[in-house]
Structure 1
Amino acid sequence: MPGNTLQDAVAAALNSSDQTDVIEGIKGAVISEIERLDPGVAIVDTDYFNHSYAPDLVLSWPGGKQEREVYLRYNLRSTQAGRDVDLLGGSAPVFFSLDSRHDDDAVAEDLRGDLEDESGALVTNAPAIDGFTSAEQTRDTGSVSEPLLNLFRRNVVRGGRGLLISGTAQRLQHTPTAGDVDEDISYLTTFEETITQIFRPEAATRLQRAVDIVRAARTGNTSLFEQPDDADERLRVIGGKLELDELRILLPYMLERANALDSDAFWQYVGGMISLKQLEQLAETIPLEDLNHLVVANLGTWRATRAIMSFSPEAVEEERPDPSWTVHAKLLAATAGAWRVHFTTDKRKGGSRDDSPLVRWEDIWPHLSTSPVSSVDMQGITRRVRVSAEDGSNVFADVDTISSTIEDDFRVRSVALRPSDDESSDLELDFKTMTVEGRKVLLGDLASAAFDVLGWRYPLSTDERTQILGRSALQRQQDKFITPRLLIEDRPAAEALELEGPDASEDDED
């Protein structure tokens, strides 16, 4: 694109003597500039140019039905003379002034008055857009202005309204002094006032939500998100779902300040707007190396379908790193003790081994006391036994009786555990593949089953388990622990008991 700014590119195109080159040059420059502002936008060229009622471009965004028409005009005066706002403003379009040399204050004030009656339309010009794209978009989260200004850029064309000229860009690009809390708070106030004035309600709401997050991250004050349920008058908390572009900007800012944001309520609020799939997508472009606060706070709400367990490469180091939640190999992963566990919402993702040794019942029964056991598949030298219950009964006692009375060298191939909630399916633990699978299983259930049962040979220490599963999870585990053998006589009988001969399965092991 000729020149360094949109104005330069437009001026170069207008100097061409060929009308086709003029149109292609101008449209190409505007499209490039819009894509710089909002990389997620899809742009359709209508093949019209400066038409009285047909748009030059049509913009749309993934995941929604929103479209926005863009009308290119040579200057603000032509927009005013054509009564564009009155005649076309009902669809909330964008009127884009290309040559700002005639965009004087008098014309701007007249348009401002017209726009007060039609709040959905946006009138802007090349200098204003240049003001937002002149500074490179960065992931430098050192100042509150950086994440918010990056989000502002992405929403200008999508949700802007009214008259947006260069003064707005100059006001918002003022960067507060590094480390000055008062200046940061003042900037946040200015930003809030600005978005209320120049954005349509849905865009203003998205940006206000970002302000709330940035303010909490900057000050450490999370009281907005920690209101008691019985509060007489609850403060405003904006929910919904964060889009991928919003997360790419906001999440690094939050994670860098995670230690100062030790509030489960705050991280649960953020986690309620994020999916595991988004975390996997984000990891392709930004580092996600310390997700402990975010993940631990949402172990009881996030859901996945599969956990794959393997030895951690760091386990052989003399000083193992602290337990951590990260995104590793494009999947959410928890590393603690000798283990690394990957989690996914798609059972097709994440390979697994098929040669892990099976385990003896007497080795794992102490680790099964905190969840009802719905089925167990055991392989012996001469028999294969599967014990299951259809009515929700706990078959723990039946398995224990069988393993201790039938003379065979039984090894456990798989165990099914009841989940901690009604929405999840049973958790299927496979010792041969070292996987846990289920439908819509709470992440905390998957993690506990993997570390506590599949990983029985190398259990986590108390501190490691606290860091990876949270204090509350650890306390619940300790409160529920009862030695199973003391309750064998009280366990209900299994509904189904299947005894099979040695030829029943091709993968029986000695």
Structure 2
Amino acid sequence: MTFTSALRTAMDTTDGIAYIDRVKAVVRSQLQELDSTAKIEDTLYYNHSAIPDFVLSWPGERGKRRVYLRDSYSSILAGDDTSYLKKLEPVLLALDSADGAQEVEQINLRTSPGASARTLVTDVDAVEVIAGGESPASSSPLNSLVRANFVRGGRGYVDHDRAERLVEGPETMSPDRLDDIAGLISENFVEDAAARITRTAQLIEFALRGRPNDVESWSVVGGRLSLAEIRHLLPWLLAQPEAAENGAFWRYVGSLMTFDELEQIRESIADIDVSPLIRANSDVWEANWAYLGASRAVDHNDVDPRDARWSFDSGRLGVDLGMQRIIIAKNGRLIRARENLSAASWDELRVALSRYQLASISLRGIRRSIVVDAVESTDVRQDVEDISNSVEDRYYVSGTTVRVPSRTAEDGYTDLVVDFGGSVVHAQGGATIQDLTEIALLVLNYRSTIPSGDLGRVIGSSSHDT
């Protein structure tokens, strides 16, 4: 049942008390559908001149939004609500939108830019359009963000026609209409909400039409994507074939968020191929854990690195390559190490570790065990070589700490602990997805390392065109 038909049914009673209760129940349900994060308080008043019918608030935020129900636009004009309630920045909802052109024109003038900072005047028909339904536009991320921000950050006059323009599907947008959409959004949403929605509209345009590799030439709204924006927008972007090979685009999207935030919405993207996003940002996004396990692929021999698919289909970011599966996580609770006491011989590890500085290593021989730590030097490799060459013994390595350059660490490098028994790599201070994946595949997987070219196809190049 639509919002308007539900209201008609609610109003079909001669009992005044029942009328109020039923109408308010329908409106409250619709407000909750628009923004499920809102806490809605019923003031127990109805159609009162000064006291709102509902007060909306949001967890962790100070701001509130007062919603006033009015019979029609005419009643809003008669009570001079746009002026009388202006300081409260209200939402004035007309339950009947069938007023004449003169009333509508007066409402439009009183809510024009500059007349009110944040008063929103709208009607049930417009709210129904914003709420969406079976129309193609209702599934777009632009529509989702317009819907989520409508009560919280809407302003001005929004009737049925304007509501349709606000949620119009991006597939019908031509490049020269993007500025028009941005202007419309700016008129009908406060600054922070308008910025979020406009950024989404621009990202949709870039995904569909493409842009030059020079990101600085793109006309984009800055800032960071919120979790709500990421959840609404990312699945849609990843489903667009036009954007799949646009590395610069995914690099830019990655700059608006973190891997931690991506991991937090993993349930929303569980079945989606996130490879373009991961490969474009593997050398800048940081995580803390990598795990090397057995591949879930049916035929290990036919896994082409070019087809390696990063996804959260197991609740954790993972990719299959040959007989191995790599899992990457920021949240340590998503990783469970093996209960294994196995170790690798130093002789077998020499080549695998040759590309890294060694900050620490635990050597276990037949006659003695030695732990070598970097105290004054940054690399203990030569110390390990001296020990292994001077004492006749066969040394096994249960764990080692490798040191890699870091863009974010104060001293310019980060340490990653490699646990051969547990088959995990742990970087307490964080390391790039690229470094975690490389060390898992080249060090943990030392017996059957993969060619560097194949590794590059899995995690992307260390340099990107931006």
The answer to whether the superposition gives a TM-score over 0.5 is: yes
What is aligned with 1:91?
88
Provide the C-alpha distance between the structure 1 equivalents of 2:123 and 2:5, rounded to a whole number of angstroms.
Answer: 13
Give the aligned partner of residue 103 of structure 2.
107
Q: 1:311 is matched with which residue: 288, 291, 294?
A: 294
- 1:167 and 2:156 matched: no
Provide closer, same or farther for how the CA distance between residues 111 and 138 of structure 1 changes in structure 2, counting only shifts above 3 A.
closer
| Aligned partner (choices 289, 302, 312) of residue 285 of structure 2 | 302
Paired amino acid for 2:449 = P
2:144 alignment counterpart: 150
Aligned-pair CA distance for 1:210? 0.9
Q: Which moved more, 1:279-288 or 1:82-91?
A: 279-288
SS at match of 1:419: strand
Q: Shift in Å at residue 172 of structure 1? A: 5.0
| Separation of aligned partners in 2, 1:265 and 1:318 | 32
Could you say what secondary structure the match of 1:214 adopts?
A: helix
Q: Aligned partners of 1:140, 1:320: CA distance in 2, in Å?
A: 38
Residues 316 and 457 of structure 1: CA distance in aligned 2, closer, same or farther (over 3 Å): farther
2:432 maps to 1:451: no
Instruction: From the superposition, tell whether residues 187 and 133 of structure 1 become closer, same or farther in structure 2 (CA, over 3 Å).
Output: farther
- Contact 1:336–1:460, Cα closer than 8 Å, also in 2: no
Asked if 1:343 is matched to 2:333, the reply is no
Partner of 1:431: 420
Counterpart position of 1:55 = 52
Question: Could you give the per-residue CA deviations for residues 191-215 of structure 1, whole angstroms, max 9, x where no partner exists?
Answer: 3332132222222111111121111
Q: Verify the 8 A CA contact 2:136 2:169 in the aligned structure 1.
A: no
For residues 242 and 48 of structure 2, the distance between their equivalents in structure 1, rounded to whole angstroms, comes to 55
Q: How does 1:201-240 map to 2 (within 5 A)?
A: 201-223=191-213, 226-227=215-216, 236-240=219-223
Question: Quick one: distance in 2 between partners of 1:365 and 1:137?
Answer: 61
Structure 1 residues 64 and 302: alpha-carbon distance in aligned structure 2, compared to 1, 3 A threshold: farther
TM normalised by structure 1 equals 0.81
Name the SS of the counterpart of 2:284 in structure 1. Answer: coil
Against the structure 1 CA distance between its residues 147 and 238, is the aligned structure 2 distance closer, same or farther, given a 3 Å change threshold? Answer: same
Deviations 1:332-363 (A, max 9, x none): 12332332121222222221212263101111
Q: 1:135 to 1:289 in 2, by over 3 A?
A: closer
CA distance 1:111–1:125, change in 2 (3 Å):
same
Stretches of structure 1 that go unaligned for 5 or more consecutive residues are: 228-233, 475-510
- The answer as to whether partners of 2:361 and 2:399 remain within 8 angstroms in 1 is yes
**Structure 1 residue matching 2:92: 3-state secondary structure:** strand
TM-score where L is the length of structure 2: 0.88
Going from structure 1 to structure 2, the CA distance change for 1:463 and 1:289 (only over 3 Å counts) comes to farther
User: C-alpha separation between the residues in 2 aligned to 1:374 and 1:315?
Assistant: 39
Gaps of at least 5 residues in structure 2 are none
The equivalent position to 2:25 in structure 1, one of 19, 23, 28, is 28
> What are the superposed Cα offsets for residues 187-240 of structure 1, whole Å, 9 maximum, x if unpaired?
5454333213222222211111112111111112245x523xxxxxx6643232
The structure-2 alpha-carbon separation of the partners of 1:462 and 1:289, relative to structure 1 and needing over 3 Å to count, comes to farther
Identity %: 31
Deviation larger for 125-134 or 42-51: 42-51
Q: Give the Cα–Cα distance (whole angstroms) in 2 for the partners of residues 108 and 149 of structure 1.
A: 25
- d(CA) in 1 for partners of 2:323, 2:384: 29
Bigger CA drift: 50-59 or 258-267?
258-267
Cα 1:64–1:235, aligned 2, differ >3 Å: closer, same or farther? farther
Which letter maps to 1:158?
A: R
CA contact (8 A) 2:404 2:415 kept: yes
1:301-351 superposed Cα distances (whole Å, 9 cap, x missing partner): 211111111121227534125223211321112332332121222222221
Q: CA deviation at 1:51?
A: 2.8
Say whether the 8 Å CA contact 1:132–1:169 is kept in structure 2: yes
Q: 2-side partners of 1:20 and 1:461: how far apart?
A: 76
* Root-mean-square deviation over aligned CA pairs: 2.7
Partner deviation per Cα, 1:393-432 (whole Å, 9 max, x = no partner): 2101111221232233321011111231152641111000
C-alpha contact (below 8 Å) 1:279/1:327 kept by paired residues: no
Greater displacement, 355-364 / 284-293: 284-293
Instruction: Tell me, yes or no, if the aligned pair for 1:5 and 1:134 is still in contact at 8 Å.
Output: no
CA distance in 2, matches of 1:190, 1:113: 20
Superimposed CA distance per residue, residues 110-130 of structure 1 (whole angstroms, 9 cap, x where no aligned partner)? 222222311311000111112
Aligned pair in 2 of structure 1 residues 337, 208: CA closer, same or farther (>3 Å)? same
Residue aligned with 2:162, SS? helix
Taking structure 1 as reference, are residues 352 and 316 closer, same or farther at Cα in structure 2, changes over 3 Å only? Answer: farther
